[in-house]
Structure formats: C-alpha cells, structure tokens
Structure 1
Amino acid sequence: MSSPASLPEHVLTLLKTSKYLHLATASKPECIPSVSLMNYTYISPDRVYKPKSSVSDYSDKAADKGGHYIIMATQKNTEKYENILNNPQVSVLIHDWVTAKKLSLRKSSMSNTPTPAESSQEAPVQAPNADHPSRLLNLLQELNQSELSQMSATLQGHAEHLDTFSDEFDYYEQELLKANPDARVYTRGENVSVVKVKLVNAKVSDSENNTKFYD
C-alpha cells in the first residue's frame, strides 16, 4: 500500500502547520462510524523512522522512504483504539483553523461596527452606512480561489498501533511531543498507544466544487 506520489503544496502546508485534525474510524463488522478531534504531527518522507540496523537490512522497507505519515496518540480503552485494531482504514480531515479564525474575527468585527447613531445617543438618525456593504464586498473579494482551496483536505490512510516497547514507538512519540508539547497528557501512563497512519490518497475540493484526487 503506497502513499500518494505527490501532494499539492497547500495540502502539505496544512499538514505541516495545523495542530488538530478530525480522525474518522469505523467499527467492524458493524461499520459504526466515530469521529475524534486529535493532536497530531505530520512525518514527511525524509523523517520516516529508520531502524538502527544497517542500511542493507532496511532495504526491505524501501517503500516506507516515500511515505507520508500522520502520528497520533490515544488511550487503549477508547473506541478509536478498538476500531483501528479491527478496521485499520481511516480518514482524516485537516482544516486551516488559523485562516478560518481570522476570517471569522474580521466578519464579526464588521458586523459589530456601530453605526453613527449607535455611537452617540444624541446623534441624529442617519441613512444606512454606505461603507458597510463596501467592506463586506472587499472581504469577499479577498477570499480568492487560492485561499478557499486551502481551507481543508480529506485524506484516507491505513492506521496501525505501534509496539509500546519498540524504538519506533519512542521515536514517533518524541516527534509528536516536539510538534505538540501539550499532547503530553495523552502519552502518559502504560495505557497509551501511538498510532501511525500511512496516507494512501487525498481529495481536495475548491470553492466551486472542483475535486481533485491524489493517489
């Protein structure tokens, strides 16, 4: 099972800069879906774990060198843990929370801007503020095609729980904590599982519902 040969730059940017993702798993054989908000870190092909053995011993895992991975941590007494054990096919949704928050704040600021009559009780009633539609129009114009297409991406992958006592577990746990120090609460105790998701395809849609697939 191989990763996409290449991912669009804005998807890679989302993977590298976002702090959270939505992880979708499903039970088996019932296929009952479950969605969780997760801390994660993205592992590019050049950062994939390599065993401490010789290079020749690593040749059997050559396919991993080109893989794109997502690393997460979860407790073993969770629904997502059981789902992954029984059905390793998962989906993740990456969202550009920073851009969305900025846009939301700007829209909120515009909508809350007082009119002249609201600013002073003694001010006479005036005609509707003609500038307000202009500000709204400017905001909409700034939401160009490239910005909208970078808002989110859906990716599918194959998940596996790593051996708690392996060097690979330790390596990816440290990578996760370097990217998300506050994720330490999810890696404490003996009941922790580090999950490695190998991305197998991506679906990207723009504001006009044009969809592209990357396998």
Structure 2
Amino acid sequence: MASKVDSSHEFPSQIKRCLSSSKYIQLATCFHDQPHSSLMTFTYLPAGSAAPYEVEDCIILSTGENSKKYFNISSNPRVSLLVHDWTTNRQETDPDASSLYTLLYKMNQAQFSNTSVTLNGLATVLPKNSKEEEFFREKHLNTNDKGNTKQYVEGEDMRIIKIKLESARICDQRLNNVQKWNARGDETPF
C-alpha cells in the first residue's frame, strides 16, 4: 500500500469531507493499557467556526461523568477516533429483485465506500458550567438535534469534551493509498 505524508499544516479535504458527512465516530480511549472503544455522535467544527474558544479544526463529544470514557480521558487525554464514509448495511439484496435493481444497489454501495480516517488527538473535558462548555454544548446540540440524541448532550452529569486533532491516517481503498497528516507538519511514524 502506498503511503505519503502531507507536509502542510492544512487539514486535508478528505478528512473534512468524511467528518462533515458522517453521523457517528468511533472513540478509543485507554487507561493502564486497557483500551476502550465507543460509538459516538459528534460535532466537527472546522477551523475558525469555534472562535473565540478554538481556532483550529476540532471534534466535540459529550459523555456522562460516570462513564468509562470520561474516567479514561480524565486519566489519559490521548484519544484515537475512527470515521469513514462506508455504508454499513449488511443487508443482502432481495433474491426476487430485478437484476437492474441489484446492479444499482451494488453500485450505490460501492460509490460510498472509499475512505476511512484514523485521527489522533488530545481530549479536554471542558470546565463545568463555563461559557466555553455552554458554547460547545450549543454547537453539539445544533448538530445532533434529530431523534433522541439530546439526552446524550444535555443533563446535569453530561460533560462536553473537545478534541484537538494532532495527526491522521487517511486510507483510500480505491487508490490503495494511505496519506498521513500531522498538525505540526512533522513526519508521522505510523
């Protein structure tokens, strides 16, 4: 698999596209070499959209104070995130469907299955009841206002977490290519 490093500090467009079009992100935390993974709703805020609190691209999450991820982040702020544009439907096509329907269904599935992005960052639990926390909570609510997601953002024990993105690996299946990005422009070893 080919690999290249993006030496610019600019956040790659493939990551922006993937984050802007995805509803869920996989969050990985760790405490004493015990990893923990969670599927999360999230808010992606492009550079400049979170002023005055953040000037760079960032991810906003929320979690309860009694959750394992809250405990892990409080102990170890280094996190990893996985987001992709794959369709995750395992449903097979209807055996009675026409061949045209089956062809179109498979083309549609293949069209969206291109990119996965692994991001590494530093998570900060925002100070409780601060203006910064309320600012990001409102942004997070506005992004995730459909269905029953409010219960995961609002509430006395719900905390807002901001993740500053430090590096990424962008895997493009079509091109059999891995692109690396680092916020500082350094070589990323993996």
TM-score normalised to structure 1 length: 0.70
Indicate the SS of the match to 1:45: coil
CA contact (8 A) 2:27 2:80 kept: yes
- Aligned mates of 1:114, 1:142 — CA distance in 2: 16
For structure 1, the 5+ residue unaligned runs are: 52-63, 116-130
More strand by share: 2
Q: Is the 8 A contact 1:71 1:196 kept in 2?
A: yes
Residue 95 of structure 2: aligned partner: 112
Is 2:178 aligned against 1:214?
Answer: no
1:136: Cα distance to partner? 5.4
Contact 2:25 2:83 in 1 (8 A): yes
Q: Select 2:114's aligned residue among 149, 152, 157.
A: 149
Q: 8 Å contact 1:148–1:206 — kept in the other structure?
A: no
Residue of structure 1 equivalent to 2:123: 159
CA distance in 1, matches of 2:20, 2:29: 22
1:20-31 to 2 correspondences below 5 Å: 20-27=24-31, 30-31=32-33
Task: Indicate if the aligned counterparts of 2:27 and 2:39 stay in contact, CA closer than 8 A.
Answer: yes
* Percent of aligned pairs sharing the same letter: 30
The structure-2 alpha-carbon separation of the partners of 1:114 and 1:142, relative to structure 1 and needing over 3 Å to count, comes to closer
Whole-angstrom distance in 2 between the partners of 1:210 and 1:164: 42
Number of residue pairs matched by the alignment = 171
2:159 to 179, 193, 198: 193
Local SS of the residue matching 2:33: coil
Give the counterpart letter for 2:114 in structure 1. Answer: S
How much has 1:211 moved relative to structure 2?
1.1
Q: Distance in 1 between matches of 2:108 and 2:138?
A: 42
Question: Aligned partners of 2:29, 2:15: CA distance in 1, in Å?
Answer: 21
After TM superposition, the score normalised by the length of structure 2 is 0.78
AA matched with 2:14: H
Q: Match of 2:164, as an amino acid?
A: K
Deviation digits for residues 186-212 of structure 1 (CA, Å, limit 9, x no counterpart)? 133321210000111110112254211
2:75 is the counterpart of 1:92: no
Structure with bigger helix share is 1
Q: CA RMSD in A?
A: 2.7
Q: Deviations over 1:29-77 (max 9, x none)?
A: x2100000111100111112316xxxxxxxxxxxx42x11000110010
User: Hey, what's the Cα distance between the residues in 1 that align with 2:83 and 2:109?
Assistant: 22
Distance 1:189 1:138 in 2: 41
Listed one character per residue, the Cα deviations across residues 65-102 of structure 1 (whole Å, up to 9, x for unaligned) are 2x1100011001011001101110000111225xx15x
